[in-house]
Amino acid sequence: MTHTIKCIRLHKEFKGDGVNTIALNQVNLEFKEGEFVSIVGSSGSGKSTFLSLVGTLDKPSGGTVHYGKLDLKGFNSKELADFRFENIGFVFQQYHLLPTLTALENVMAPLLSRKVSYDKKERAKQLLEEVGLGDKMNSLPSQLSGGQQQRVAVARALIHEPHWLLADEPTGNLDTETGEMIFDLLLRLNKEKGCGVIFVTHESALAVRADRMIEMKDGSVIRDTGVSGL
């Protein structure tokens, strides 16, 4: 199976208190296997909504997402959870590490109650080495800096070798230098492991370094360096 992502007329509306917000307006986008794409746009332009739909964390009001030949429209929540486990890693602005678990245990956490063909601990250790935290495996999140915690979160996202890494403002809580380190780490992992990256960010200095940059406004794509003419 190929791991292309194809969004077809992807649409999301939020209804509440008599106000109807179109967060995403009939978006058509395709991402090639292994691509490193950044998504920029002002606050409220629909970036997080888009990423949630692509990551199957939320259901669209209309349209569909295809992964390769797979149309996710009819999937129930258990099927979606399994699909995400097999295919997608997430990194968020908040690191969402479990405070009572060590770095190593946090990286292994997604594998809890999952049967896998590899040694869970060995893989987690290897990933922590790869993100430069070989000496912090037994530290608790509270003993780590923000940048280190985010690196644990990146290792955790990669534990089952996803085809796609979806990152929503992963540098948003970090200073410029640390943010660049995380961006460089994702860039390196993208090249080394071949997993595609969709990277939502406010920081245009980082965004322009991606292979492709998409700009959103009012729920629509207004610029896409991967497509001529937009």
Ligand X SMILES: Nc1ncnc2c1ncn2[C@@H]1O[C@H](COP(=O)(O)OP(=O)(O)OP(=O)(O)O)[C@@H](O)[C@H]1O
We find the least distance from the C-beta atom of residue 21 to ligand X, in angstroms, to be 5
Query: Which DSSP category does 171 fall into?
Result: T
How many CB atoms are closer than 10 A to CB 54?
A: 24
We find the least distance from the C-beta atom of residue 167 to ligand X, in angstroms, to be 13
Task: Kindly write down the DSSP assignment for every residue of 89-152, as one continuous string.
Answer: EEEESS----TTS-HHHHHHGGGTT---SS-HHHHHHHHHHHTT-TT-TT--GGGS-HHHHHHH
Using DSSP bridges, classify how beta strands 212-217 and 36-40 pair: parallel, antiparallel or unpaired: parallel
Nearer to ligand X, 23 or 108 (CB): 23
Site string for ligand X, 2-31 (x = CB under 6 A): ------------x-x----x-x--------
Distance CA 219, CA 49 (A): 9
Please give the residues from 37 up to 96 whose contact with ligand X meets the rule CB under 6 A. 41, 43-49
User: Would you count residue 141 as binding ligand X (CB under 6 A)?
Assistant: no
Count of residues that bind ligand X according to CB under 6 A = 12
We find the least distance from the C-beta atom of residue 123 to ligand X, in angstroms, to be 32
We find the least distance from the C-beta atom of residue 194 to ligand X, in angstroms, to be 27
We find the least distance from the C-beta atom of residue 58 to ligand X, in angstroms, to be 8
Return the SS3 of 211.
coil
We find the least distance from the C-beta atom of residue 44 to ligand X, in angstroms, to be 4
Distance CA 105, CA 98 (A): 9
Return the SS3 of 102.
coil
- Cβ atoms of residues 164 and 87 within 8 Å: yes
- Cβ atoms of residues 159 and 190 within 8 Å: no
Nearer to ligand X, 55 or 110 (CB): 55
Nearer to ligand X, 5 or 23 (CB): 23
Which residues make up the interface to ligand X (CB under 6 A)? 14, 16, 21, 23, 41, 43-49
